[in-house]
Amino acid sequence: MGKNHHLANIFWSLIKEGLAIAILGALFALVANAISPFGLNPTSPIPTLKDQSQTEKIQALQTLSVSTKTNTLEEIIRLVTNRLAQKHLGWVRLTEITNLLSDPKIQQASNVIVIDTRTEKQFSAACIPGAILFNPYRYEAYIDKILGPCLTAEKIILYCEGGACDDSELAATLLADMGIPKEKIAIFLEGFNGWKSVGLPTEVPRQ
C-alpha cells in the first residue's frame, strides 16, 4: 500500500512539472512573438492584384513575392543579380521596364529593343509588345536577324520567364561573345511571368 502511494505521488509530481513546463513555454512564445519585429499578425490583410492600378499591382506583386517564406521571388532575384554582377551584366526591374516601354515614342527615341529568349512556342503564343525572338539554344538561326539591331541599339533588354529562369542570361552571354557591349545589355528580372501577372499588355507576334 505504501509503495503504491509513493508511486502515485511520483506520478502526480511528473504531471505537475509537465504542466509547469508547458505553461512556461507558452508564455515564452507569447513574449517572443510580441517583441519580435516578425511577430505573427493574423489580422493583416493579404495583398491581392484585383481592382488596383498598374503601380499598385506591381507593388502588390512584389509584396506577395517577399511574403513567401521559402524561395521567394526577391530571394531568387538577389541570387540572380549577384551572378549577373559577377558577369558584368546589367538588369532592370518591372517598374523600370514598365516606365520605359509604356510609351512607344520613348522606346523609339531611346533606341531600345526587347528580346524574348523563350522558346518559339512560348513566343508565338504571346510576348511583350514589340519583342523579337532569340532562342539561345538555337542561336545560329537568329544571328542574322538580331545582330544588326543589337549593334545599333542603345539598350537591349532580354527576358525569359523570369525569376530563376536563366535563358535570358545565356542569351546575354552569347550576345556579348558576338561583340555586343555588355553595358548595353540588361536582363528583365521578373520576366514575362512578372509582366503578365500585373496585367500589362501582350501581343501575338505576326508570323
Q: For residue 171, count CB atoms less than 10 angstroms from its CB and return exposed for 0-12, middle for 13-18, buried for 19 or more.
A: buried
Nearest Cα to 194, choosing from 156, 165, 170, 155? Answer: 165
Count of C-beta atoms within a 10 Å radius of residue 21:
10
Q: For residue 6, count CB atoms less than 10 angstroms from its CB and return exposed for 0-12, middle for 13-18, buried for 19 or more.
A: exposed
Exposure string over 106-121, b if 16+ CB within 10 A, otherwise e: ebeeeebbbbbbbeee
pLDDT digits (tens, 9 = 90+) for 83-92: 999 999 999 9
What pLDDT sits at residue 164? 87
pLDDT digits (tens, 9 = 90+) for 110-163: 689 999 999 999 999 999 999 999 999 999 999 999 999 999 999 999 999 998
Whether the CA torsion 113, 114, 116, 117 is positive or negative: it is positive
**What is the Cα–Cα distance from 128 to 67, expressed in whole angstroms?**
27
Topology (CATH) of 73-197: Oxidized Rhodanese; domain 1 (3.40.250)
pTM above 0.85, yes or no: no
